[in-house]
Structure 1
Amino acid sequence: MTDFTAATRATYDTIAAEYARQWSTPPAWVAAELDRLAALLPAGSRIADIGCGPGHHTRALRERGFRVTGFDLSRRMLGAARVPGLVQADMRALPLAARSLGAVWCVAALLHVPRPEVPQVLGEFGRVLRPGGELLLSVAEGDGEGWDERAYGASLRRWFVLHRFEALAALLAEAGFGIVGHEREATHRDWLRIHARRR
């Protein structure tokens, strides 16, 4: 585990309760993505919510009839909202069988992975998805990487890696994905949302 990852996990352990309260209501776009997945996958499909935090999206996916396990590196995050069935795990080595999932949902989590390790993570996503499986990937858009101290201060910093569509699409292709589409939106930062499918 890199120092960047360890420090980011420590921050999330510290802010877990506050974070769970702050994001207890998922943003509006999540409902649209749930509708999209519900149209693509049968009820009961297995989904991994990677970087699930307190599990708000895990719960929302389950409410749509999917079988969902949430995974996060921060143990305190996993207990912050009392959502059952969340597992502590590193997205670089997921405790899942090959081709066992219908979809991977990864929102605002890959952005904490140092850039040299991103291909490994995308390879794991490809490994655990069945052929034709869906990937929803949401990252901060831009250039560069570094510590973000704006939200919680210098003592509670998080490592952020910004991505551009073309470069991330190329990495996804190398990991066995075809791009289905992508969208952008702006909140307190610029976001890039990619829909991809395992070839």
Structure 2
Amino acid sequence: MSEISIETRQTYDLISETYARVNATPDERIRADAAGLAADLGPGCLVADVGCGPGREVELLRAHGVRVVGFDLSLGQLRAGGVAGVAQADMRRLPVRSGSLDGVWCQAALLHIPRAEVPAVLAEFARIVRIGGALHLNVSEGDGEGWEMAANYGSDRRRWFTLHRLPDLTRLLAEAGFVVRRSGRNRARRDWLRVYAHRADTRTPVADSALG
């Protein structure tokens, strides 16, 4: 594990109680995205919430009839939520059988992965999702990467942020084996980019993944 990931994990461990309290209630956009994923995959589908934090969206998805297992690198975050069915894991190497999931939900978590490691993470998502399965991805929109202070959680500790643009992210997803079906943007303290993709039969050429 890189020093970047270790320090970011340590920061989340330290701010876990405040983070869980501040983010206890999902906004309407997240509720709509969760409902959409559940409707698309159907009742009883099996989904991994990767970077689940205290487990807010684990419970939200379960309320829609989705079977969910949550993973997060920060043990402090997992303990702060007290949600069952979660485990500590690195999204680069998930303890999940290949092709065993109907979908992956990754809300504001991939953004902490250094840009050079993003293709490997997306390939790992593709490995664990069945053909035709879904990926919900929410990242910070913009350019560049680097450290940001966790001041909004009353801390002087740092977290790493990698920002993404839709064309490059679409290309990376296609190379991993996902086809983007829809995308959206919103503003909440920062600019956010939401992408919904399906696992293709094969790794999709970049040209085939262009949005209409």
TM range (shorter): over 0.9
SS of residue paired to 1:151 = helix
2:19 touches 2:153 (CA, 8 Å); kept in 1?
no
Deviations 1:124-169 (A, max 9, x none): 0000000000000000000000101143477411000000000011
2:71 touches 2:86 (CA, 8 Å); kept in 1?
yes
Stretches of 4+ moved more than 4 A in 1? none
Aligned to 1:92: 92
Aligned to 2:182: 181
Overall identity of the aligned pairs, in %: 52
1:197 and 2:198 correspond: yes
Quote the Cα distance in structure 2 between the aligned partners of 1:113 and 1:140. 12
1:2-41 to 2 correspondences below 5 Å: 2-41=2-41
Quote the Cα distance in structure 2 between the aligned partners of 1:126 and 1:194. 15
- When residues 154 and 44 of structure 1 are mapped into structure 2, their CA distance, relative to the original with a 3 A threshold, is closer
Deviations 1:89-141 (A, max 9, x none): 00000000000111100000000000000000000000000000000000000
1:123 and 2:126 correspond: no
Quote the Cα distance in structure 1 between the aligned partners of 2:62 and 2:181. 24
Q: Which 10-residue stretch deviates more, 128-137 or 22-31? A: 22-31
Deviations 1:38-79 (A, max 9, x none): 221121110000000000000111111111000000001101
Q: How many residues align?
A: 199
Deviations 1:20-48 (A, max 9, x none): 01111011111111221222112111000
Quote the Cα distance in structure 2 between the aligned partners of 1:135 and 1:26. 19
What's the TM-score once normalised by structure 1's chain length? 0.97
**Two-structure CA RMSD over aligned residues (Å):** 1.1
Structure 2: any 5+ residue segments left out of the alignment? 201-212
SS of residue paired to 1:80 = helix
What's the TM-score once normalised by structure 2's chain length? 0.91
